[in-house]
Structure 1
Amino acid sequence: MSNNISIGKTTDSFEDLQILSQKEAEKIVKTLDIAEGEKITFGFWTSDFPELICEAVFGKNKESKIEFKLDFEQSTL
Structure 2
Amino acid sequence: MKTGLITSDTSQNHDTGPGHPEQIARVSVIVENFKKLNNKNLIWKKPSKVSDDILLTTHENNYLNLVKKFFPKKRFFFT
Normalising by structure 2, we get a TM-score of 0.27
Larger gyration radius, structure 1 or structure 2: 2
Normalising by structure 1, we get a TM-score of 0.28
Kindly indicate whether structure 1 or structure 2 has the higher relative contact order, using CA contacts under 8 Å at least 6 residues apart.
2
